[in-house]
A and B are shown apart, each in its own frame.
Chain A
């Protein structure tokens, strides 16, 4: 713990908020220690996307690590052909596919590992929200894969339709339809009903 704290102090300073992604990328290409800025900016977004895709924290953490490692290694090949978060989530998406390739297809849910119980039991709300996302993740896995993928990238990856279209090699209309039908399917799965607010 002490060692990690020291490393954080010595890490690259947080980038000014005004720097856009491309500027950070260029800075990181010159000095890789600047990659931390991109990491700090997108770690949560990537993690949430992966958590919903794989349904458990340990694998989400593992894939988050793999994603950022791969992104740092492949940064030289990034030329701004797509927004950086889209490029990053594209890597994350492939890491998920790789994970599923290494697992038997019919093992997925059975092999699910649970999140580590947080020693700080005051985080009950966070625990409930995490459980909620994991529940959603389980339901996501019953959706058609493309619908689940598009929906996850849109809601949890926070990508634009155009970015998703590029990642999934579909046109924008098809992506909008995937998101719409995915959400409708998820609605049916969760059987959510709403009371009248009046």
Chain B
């Protein structure tokens, strides 16, 4: 297609989109645009139906109102200036920063969370991403599932249940929609009235059964964790001892706007060189950053890592329940609890082992004190199989996840990703720097130790009274000048800045961005944003080339100079009329699934109680149909085993 033709089609499409966005009659378009036009319409309709969660909207509005009140008060003062609380970290930002602090913003194989529901959700996301139609760039070996021996006593509260009682007396259960680890997909079920062939890979799939359907069990006990206790400070000390950490226990403190009483649940943290431990209400995570290589995981294959992880956990008394050990990516170890002999599809413990044999990450969401909810009748495996054939994947009672098998070919990297370059500004040891951070502050809970203060990518050290004063400015911008000292605390992640001076930022120094073209003259680099706007780029990378289009992020704290902290290449639209090659991966529907194993498992559903604002987990049985796809992937399809009559909101 020639450039002129493309341009004509682009104009037609633009006219169409304008009409659609304004709700006006749409103009006629060329046949070549029909598919794109329908897709655009579908995308807009999908987007229009998505609204932010009401609680989030309300909270943000409250934050804005509070911030506005402070701003109004500040603007009326003529003596001591009071800065507006700029960018007070939202809950997710705090969480994100906390996680980033905990995990040092490095590549981490497991998706993780810092709140109970988020833990479940994060694994859901990780599995969903991995199951996302095989879009992973990594080749992943097929790994066996190892059912570990269980010399320890059986699950203390998951004993044999009473015989079935009247189903009418059983509480209804939520659907599998809130469960973790079951994967996700796109689109609808077998019948779609929009006549669009959904992008869901299992739309129209043929299912072939290549095994015998089990005839048992006919009932199963459903459990929950309603009686689970939260971790105390004594637990934190005990866990720290388990992992050999010593030092003060900290919690992160947050900026509190006047009138905003909301605070997140405390996460207790201990920092000991390269190792750190974070303990939330019902989870903990341990990490040794020395297990990373250049900030990335350097994993040992599961076959060797599994026994190491198992021994490590057992030595610390963390494997005191029947379990199954496996790996879905060929490296990281998952410990799944066996409940009444059946695996819970939830990684109760996740372990990462480096190639040197170091256990460098342990994440645990212990499911303690399982409480029987009731002994529920089940639809049979045959009924579940029939249900799957008739209903397909509906993301309420039927889910699936795919993961690469040994035959899955790695798609080539997209052209853009291969050409991507990014630089993060590195300061030399001994260099004096000026930053405009919003400090993260961790205060000790059981000692008179100095606050632990993190500013951007650095730990801040200095006189205790200065750190105490800075701690009062948590979440608000300050100006810090100090000397970069290297990783003197041997964190394997953070360099230290030795404080020289600091002051509150009288007015916000915005962390900002510019995009432009590089102009190099010798060692000096200039970013040309426009004819009237350009900046000197200090300490420009040696491999930043003249004429490259880049974006920079950082501060403009001196006229004509961009104090950059990050820099990346901006992909340039090719001048040629040829379209950029589509990346090597082509999304495909699954034509056939062959099932070779059927068993009853437990899905773990996160249930949030609005009244008490607490979360609990529900262990609900599901039939797992395991097999392979015609794309040479592994697939697990989960069908809710509890009949619809006992589900709170079943699909009609």
Contact = CB atoms under 8 A, between A and B. Distances in A.
A131 B394 CA distance: 12
Contacts of A89: none
Contacts, number: 331
A22 interface: no
Contact of B396 (A12, A102, A124): A124
Interface in B405-444: 414, 416-417, 420, 422, 424
A118 B53 contact: yes
B589 A191 contact: yes
Interface string B520-541: 0000000001100000000000
A117 B35 contact: no
Given A48-B50, A104-B106, A72 B93 contact: no
Interface string A173-191: 1101111110111111111
Interface string A120-139: 01101111111111011011
Interface residues of A, number: 110
B416 A194 contact: no
A8 B49 contact: no
Contacts of B606: 117
A13 interface: no
Interface residues of B, number: 134
Contact of A181 (B52, B107, B579): B579
Contacts of A32: 67-69, 71-72
A62 B47 contact: no
A47 to B, nearest CB: 4
B13 A179 contact: yes
B9 A113 contact: no
A41 interface: no
B129 A132 contact: no
Given A43-B52, A195-B195, A11 B113 contact: no
B187 A194 contact: no
Contacts of A62: 90, 92-93, 96
A73 B511 contact: no
Contacts of A189: 582, 587
B162 interface: no
Contacts of B50: 48, 51, 126, 129-130, 133
Nearest to B123: A114
B168 interface: no
A11 B582 contact: no
Nearest to B49: A129
Given A33-B69, A146-B573, A173-B7, A43 B60 contact: yes
Contact of B107 (A35, A64, A69, A107): A107
B126 to A, nearest CB: 8
Nearest to A195: B195
Q: Which 9 A-B pairs have the closest CB atoms?
A: A114-B125, A117-B178, A32-B68, A180-B10, A62-B92, A101-B566, A65-B90, A135-B186, A176-B10
Given A61-B90, A116-B121, A126-B50, 7 more contacts: A4-B62, A62-B92, A127-B177, A136-B43, A183-B40, A195-B195, A195-B196
5 contacts: A44-B52, A136-B46, A177-B7, A187-B39, A192-B35
